[in-house]
Amino acid sequence: MTIKLYELAAAEGDRRFSPFCWRIRMALAHKGLDAEHLPVRFTEKDIIAFSNQGRVPVLVDGDRTVVDSWQIANYLDETYPDKPSLLGDAASRSLTLFVKHWDESVLPPLLFPLIILDIFKNIHEKDREYFRSTREAKLGKTLEEFADRDQAEALEAFRKALTPLRNTLQDTPYLAGDRPAFADYILLGRFQIARCMSPVILLEADDPIYGWRDRMLDAFGGLARHVPAYDL
Amino acid sequence: MTIKLYELAAAEGDRRFSPFCWRIRMALAHKGLDAEHLPVRFTEKDIIAFSNQGRVPVLVDGDRTVVDSWQIANYLDETYPDKPSLLGDAASRSLTLFVKHWDESVLPPLLFPLIILDIFKNIHEKDREYFRSTREAKLGKTLEEFADRDQAEALEAFRKALTPLRNTLQDTPYLAGDRPAFADYILLGRFQIARCMSPVILLEADDPIYGWRDRMLDAFGGLARHVPAYDL
């Protein structure tokens, strides 16, 4: 039975932009596992109600339902140990968890001011009120106020925060060494939400991260490249 | 022939405070390798002139001289492959490099305002002019101006920057998983320069990082604990 992956979709059903869903889309390709990719919009939580929670990605593999991208990556490694590992051994898995927490705590507050209005523009019309009200409640300000920053300054702050990644990629082609693994998919997801939803140029072409992202976009036959996205 | 490790020393010769030297002191214990630990002060560069550069740590193993803590860690893994690995496999090694770059780019600007005057006070009298002039040239201000921040605010900024580490250690006892490895020694070094040189309380007792540091201080018979340091 084919694996099913429920992913967040924009106005166009095939514009998938959740960084967490991208982690798993890449992870499934890494494992060589076929999957059916099903769109879910913010206000279509009924589609994933069977998972007893409201967030994507949701993976359904036979009679198993797994939620949360980190849990799904662990599930895939445990269930398909003969396929290439996503997380590696105990040390590598734990260090990948550090990358995950770095991504999730450091990057969003610097990235979202740059792209949040583009996200708003690209999501489905029926999702806009939900998106605006939930985000504005969290931010304590309107989307427009949150995005009202000097673009050049905001970009510089985002790029500066990428220093540890940049310095690492000066010495190694992938965060996980000679071949990409889940740590790389975590960070690709962060760049992919931007690329799918916004024309903002996040990286300069001479940035080692640019070269890495390019290799990631080429991986698995261009899986992350050949999707509805801004051509960067 | 016993390995020699040249380490940065404060006024008291056995107060060793360089984070980079601490990485290697822990690494040698991890490998179960005995070493002679030799003090070098900032203005005693003649002692390590044989290494053709001016920075510690310098490791001398028979007729091999190795400098730079990252190079030394790699050298130890390559030269003593039967001893417990510091860097693990290619993926783990590359992810550890990310931790190194995170440590080196994110933490110093937030930590040093909190402790730099204490460092200045604890280094050897003969080093003070060198330390002041080199640091002030880099900072573009006096040490006193650099340290002139609201202590509570500076501490909060430092602790906030530790979020990825904190979140990781909520799920795993060590950054490298169930047992410490070089990624842990990198970060212990950063806390150890503070503990050896300053009475500032960097971590609250209920912080998962506090528990991790405590385990690190206990490792190898209390190697990092039972040294000239402030008792935190």
A220 conformational bin, left if phi > 0, alpha if psi -120 to 50, beta if neither? left
Q: Of A91, A105, A163, which has the smallest distance from its Cβ to B177's Cβ?
A: A91
Measured between its terminal Cα atoms, the distance across chain B in Å is 37
**In the prediction, which pLDDT does A231 show?**
76
A129 conformational bin, left if phi > 0, alpha if psi -120 to 50, beta if neither? alpha
Question: Helix H segments across B123-207?
Answer: 128-139, 143-147, 151-161, 163-169, 182-197
User: CB–CB of A105 and B171 under 8 A?
Assistant: no
Q: Which of A182, A26, A22 is nearest to A97 (CA)?
A: A182
Min distance B167 CA to chain A CA atoms (Å): 6
Min distance A93 CA to chain B CA atoms (Å): 7
Distances (CA, A) of A111 to A53, A146, A222: 27, 11, 24
Residue with tokens 């409640």: A137
> What is the per-residue DSSP string for A91-114?
HHHHHHHHHHHHHHHHSHHHHHHH
Q: Which of A75, A96, A80, A69 is nearest to A33 (CA)?
A: A80
Q: Which tokens in the block code for residue A206?
A: 């001479």
User: CB–CB of B176 and A93 under 8 A?
Assistant: no
Q: Of A105, A167, A177, which has the smallest distance from its Cβ to B91's Cβ?
A: A177
The nearest alpha carbon in chain B to A86 belongs to: B91
The predicted-structure confidence for A52-94, as pLDDT tens digits, reads as follows: 999 999 999 999 999 999 999 999 999 999 999 999 999 999 9
Phi, psi angles (nearest 5°) of residue B68: 80, 125
Q: What strands, in cross-sheet order, belong to the sheet with A58-61?
A: A35-40, A3-8, A58-61, A64-67
Name the average pLDDT for chain A.
97
Phi, psi angles (nearest 5°) of residue A34: -75, 150
- What is the C-alpha radius of gyration for chain B, rounded to an integer number of angstroms? 17
Interface predicted TM-score (ipTM):
0.97
Determine the Cα–Cα distance for residues B94 and A181; give it in Å rounded to an integer.
11
**In the prediction, which pLDDT does A91 show?**
98
**In the prediction, which pLDDT does A232 show?**
67
Residue with tokens 């051509």: A231
Determine the Cα–Cα distance for residues B155 and B138; give it in Å rounded to an integer.
22
Q: What is the pTM of this model?
A: 0.97
Q: Of B89, B94, B175, which has the smallest distance from its Cβ to A175's Cβ?
A: B94
> Is B94's Cβ below 8 Å from some Cβ in A?
yes
Mean pLDDT for A163-179 is 98
Instruction: Indicate if the pLDDT at residue B1 is higher than 90.
Output: no
The nearest alpha carbon in chain B to A96 belongs to: B95
Q: Which of B27, B21, B68, B64 is nearest to B40 (CA)?
A: B21
Instruction: Indicate if the pLDDT at residue B98 is higher than 70.
Output: yes
Q: Which of B96, B35, B27, B95 is nearest to B61 (CA)?
A: B35
User: CB–CB of B168 and A91 under 8 A?
Assistant: no
The predicted-structure confidence for B159-216, as pLDDT tens digits, reads as follows: 999 999 999 999 999 999 999 999 999 999 999 999 999 999 999 999 999 999 999 9
- Please check whether residue B176 is in contact with residue B93, taking contact to mean a CB–CB distance below 8 angstroms: no
Preferred mutation among A71, A92, A172 to probe B, highest tally of B CBs within 10 A: A92
Pairs of CB atoms within 8 A across A/B: 99
Q: How does DSSP classify residue A84?
A: P
**Cis peptide preceding B57, ω within 30 of 0:** yes
The nearest alpha carbon in chain A to B93 belongs to: A177
Measured between beta carbons, the chain A residues lying within 8 angstroms of B172 are: 94, 97
Query: What is the total residue count of chain B?
Result: 232
Q: How confident is the model at residue A125 (pLDDT cuts 50, 70, 90)?
A: very high
Q: How confident is the model at residue B232 (pLDDT cuts 50, 70, 90)?
A: low
Contacts of B89 (CB under 8 A, 6+ apart): A88, A89, A92, A177
**In the prediction, which pLDDT does B231 show?**
76
Interfacial B residues in 158-177 facing A (CB < 8 Å): 163-165, 167-168, 171-172, 174-177
User: CB–CB of B164 and A101 under 8 A?
Assistant: yes
- Please check whether residue B75 is in contact with residue B64, taking contact to mean a CB–CB distance below 8 angstroms: yes
